[in-house]
Structure 1
Amino acid sequence: MTATRVKKLALHLALLAGVLVSLFPFYWTAVMATNTTRDMYRTPPKLVFGPELFSNIARVFENIDFMGSLLNTVIVACSTTVLVLFFDSLAAFTFAKYKFPGHRALFGVLLLTFMLPAQLSLIPQFVIMVNIGWVGTVKALIIPAAANAFGIFWMRQYIQGAVPDDLIAAARLDGAGFFRQYWNVALPIIRPGLAFLGIFTFIGAWNDYAWPLIVMTDPSNVTLQVALSQLNTSHNTDFSMVMAGALLAIAPLVVVFAVFARGFVADAMKGALRG
C-alpha cells in the first residue's frame, strides 16, 4: 500500500470517527427516550432501544401543551427565517453593490453590533416590548429577530463573490431599478447562500430559550424549548420522558436541515457547472 493510500485511509477513518462521535449524543437521546429512567442508571449502561417510547411520549403530552407550544415555535421559526432571508439579503445586496456616502462606516457599526454578546440586549429589548405592549405575544419573538448582523455580513460576502458587477451594470443599462436588480438578477444566483442562512436562522429560532423564557409571561403560551424545560422538576425528574420530548423537538429540525441542505448542494453544483 502506497503512502498516498495510507494517508487517504487515515483521513477517512478520522472523518468516520468524527461522524460517529457527533452522532452518538443523538443516538443516546433516542435510546433514553425508548427506555425507562431506571434503565439509564444501569451498570453497564443500556445502549439498545427499548419498548417505552410511546408511553414516554404520552406522558410528555400529559404534562405540557406540546402541540400548542409546537405551533408557536413553528410560527416563530418560519416567520423569522422568511424575514431574515429577505431583509438580510436586501441589505447585503445594498452594501455589496452600491457605494453610498458612509457605507463603510455604517457597515463597521453593523459589525460592532455583531461582536456584542446577545445577552446585553435582553433588558433594553424587554423594556421596548413592555412599552409597545408586545410582552406575551409571538410578535415579541419575531419582529426583533427579523434582521441580524451575521446574516447581512454573510450575504454581503457571498454576493460580492457570486454576483458579477458587470451583470448588475447590464441590468441597469436595460432599465432595471434597484429592487428588480435584487429580485431578478441577484436573488437567483445567491440561493445557496440563502439556503445556508435559512438553515442557520431556523435552527437558531427553533432552539432559542432565553428570550422566549423572558418575554412569554404566560406559562400556557410558550415556545417548545420553554415548554420542554417545564418537564424538569426539582426532585424525581423523569429523564426518559424529558428525552422523549427532546426527540420530538429534534425531528422537525432534521427534516428542515435535509430539505435546505439538499437545495444548498444542488444549487452549489449548478453554479459550479455554470462556472
Structure 2
Amino acid sequence: MAKVITKGILYLFLVIVAASCLIPFYSMFVTSTHANSDIARKLLLIPGDQFFDNYNRLKDTVNIWRGFANTLFITVLSTILNVYFAALAGYGFSKYNFKYRNALFVIVLGTMMIPGQLGIIGFFKLMDSLNMLNTYWPLILPSIHNAFGIFLMRQFADSSVPTEIIESGRMDGYGELQIFNRIVLPIMSPALATLGIFAFIGKWNDFLTPMIILFDNNLQTLPVMIASLKSQFTSDFGAQYVGIVIAVVPVLVFFSFMSKRIIDGVAAGAVKG
C-alpha cells in the first residue's frame, strides 16, 4: 500500500511539473486571441476571438511569412554546418593523437568564456571588409565553429566510438572521411540530435546579429520582424503574440521530432557512465 501511495504522489508531482511547463505556451496562445486593450488590462485565462484580427494586422505590418522563410533557411543550413563540423572536430580531438592536442582543446573551450556580444563590432567590420553585409553569409558561416558542440562530441566519441571499429574501417580500405561519414556519424547520432536541438533553437531565436548585419527588410529574420512591431510610443501586443506563436511552432515541432534521439543520447551517456 505504501508503494502505491508513493507511486501516486510521484505521478501527481510529474503531472504538476508537466502542467507548469505548458502554462507559458497556453498563456501565449490565449493572449494572441485577445484585443490589445484586454491584453494590457486583464488576466487572460480563456481564449478570445481576436486571433485573426491580430494576424491580419501582423500580416499588414510586416511580411511575416517572408521572415519565416528567411529564418528557416538560415536556421536549417546553420544547424547542419554546426552539427557536422562540431562532430568532425570532436571526433578529431578524441581519436587522433597530434601535437598540442590538449592545449588546442583548452583554447577551444576557452572561447566559451568570451561573450559573443563583445566581438560584435569587430565582426561587423570584418564582414564589411569582406563585402558580406546585408547577406546571409555572416549568419551561416560562423556556425562552423561551436566550442560547446566540439566538447560534447569529443566526450561522446571518447565513450561511445570504439577505436577498434575505426581500425577495422582502415583495414577495409576506407579513407578517413569515409570512416567518419559512414561509420562514426551513425554511432554519434544521439549526440548529433542533442546538439542539433540546441543549435536549431539558438539560431532560430538569434536577434542581435541579424538586426546588425541585415539592412533590407525583405531579408530580415522572424525575431527582428516581431520586435519591429513595438515602436517608441505604441505596441501592438496582439500582433506581437501572434508572431510569437508562429515563431514557437517550428521549435516545438523540431523538438518533438528529435526528442526520441535526445532521450537516447541521455540514456546512452547514463549507461556508459
TM-score normalised by the chain length of structure 1: 0.91
Matched, 1:146 2:144: yes
How far is 1:228 from its partner? 0.5
Mean Cα deviation higher: 204-213 or 171-180: 171-180
How far is 1:121 from its partner? 2.0
Q: Deviations over 1:70-95 (max 9, x none)?
A: 12111110110111121111111111
Alignment of 1:92-241 (within 5 A): 92-241=90-239
Correspondence for 1:23: 22
How far is 1:264 from its partner? 4.1
Mean Cα deviation higher: 164-173 or 78-87: 164-173
Structure-2 separation of matches of 1:228 and 1:41: 18
Structure 1 contact 158–190 (Cα < 8 Å) conserved: yes
How far is 1:272 from its partner? 10
Structure 1 contact 72–138 (Cα < 8 Å) conserved: no
Q: Which runs of 5+ in 2 are unaligned?
A: none
What CA RMSD, in Å, does the superposition of the two structures yield over aligned residues? 2.2
Q: Deviations over 1:122-153 (max 9, x none)?
A: 12111110110111111111112222111111
Structure-2 separation of matches of 1:86 and 1:48: 44
Structure-2 separation of matches of 1:24 and 1:232: 25
Structure 2 contact 33–48 (Cα < 8 Å) conserved: yes
SS at match of 2:220: coil
Structure-2 separation of matches of 1:267 and 1:155: 11
How far is 1:177 from its partner? 2.2
How far is 1:187 from its partner? 0.9
Structure-2 separation of matches of 1:72 and 1:42: 35
How far is 1:61 from its partner? 0.6
Which of 68, 72, 75 is 1:74 aligned to? 72
SS at match of 2:58: helix
Mean Cα deviation higher: 140-149 or 259-268: 259-268
May I ask how many residue pairs the two structures share in their alignment? 271
Correspondence for 1:243: 241
Structure-2 separation of matches of 1:264 and 1:202: 14
Structure 1 contact 162–189 (Cα < 8 Å) conserved: yes
Give the 3 Å change call, closer, same or farther, for CA 148–267 of structure 1 in structure 2: closer
Q: Deviations over 1:185-242 (max 9, x none)?
A: 1111111111111111111100000111111123442111001101112223121111
Structure-2 separation of matches of 1:267 and 1:14: 25
Structure-2 separation of matches of 1:54 and 1:186: 49
Mean Cα deviation higher: 263-272 or 17-26: 263-272
Structure-1 separation of matches of 2:157 and 2:265: 15
Structure-2 separation of matches of 1:266 and 1:57: 39
Structure-2 separation of matches of 1:163 and 1:202: 25
How far is 1:6 from its partner? 4.0
Q: Deviations over 1:12-31 (max 9, x none)?
A: 33332222222111111100
Correspondence for 1:14: 13
How far is 1:8 from its partner? 3.4
For 1:26, give the aligned amino acid: F
Structure-2 separation of matches of 1:97 and 1:168: 9
How far is 1:119 from its partner? 1.3
Structure-2 separation of matches of 1:205 and 1:129: 18
Structure-2 separation of matches of 1:164 and 1:32: 52
Structure-2 separation of matches of 1:114 and 1:268: 23
Correspondence for 2:35: 36
Q: Which runs of 5+ in 1 are unaligned?
A: none
